[in-house]
Amino acid sequence: MGIREDMPILARHEGVWDGVYTYYNAAGEQIDEHKSRLFCRFPDDGTHPYHQTNHYTWPDGRTEVREFPAEYRDKRVWWDNDLIVGWAAEVGLDQYNRTVMLYWQRKGDPSLYLYEMIQISDDGQSRCRTWHWIRNGLLETRTAIQETLVSKDWRAVEADMAASAG
What is residue 45's predicted lDDT score, i.e. its pLDDT?
83
Residue type, 84: I
What is residue 1's predicted lDDT score, i.e. its pLDDT?
72
CATH number reported for the structural domain that contains residue 127 in this entry: 2.40.128.20
Q: 141 in helix, strand or coil? A: strand
Pair 109, 136: CB distance under 8 Å: no
What is residue 76's predicted lDDT score, i.e. its pLDDT?
97
For the segment 114-133, what is each residue's pLDDT rounded down to a tens digit?
999 999 999 999 999 999 99
Specify which residues 87 forms β-bridges with.
78, 103
What is residue 54's predicted lDDT score, i.e. its pLDDT?
97
Domain count, the chain: 1
Residue 122's Cβ-count burial label (10 Å; 0-12, 13-18, 19+) is exposed
- Predicted TM-score (pTM) of this structure: 0.94
For the segment 34-56, what is each residue's pLDDT rounded down to a tens digit?
999 999 999 988 789 999 999 99
Residues of the chain with pLDDT under 70: none
Domain span at residue 35 reads 3-165
What is residue 44's predicted lDDT score, i.e. its pLDDT?
87
H-assigned helices in 12-102: none
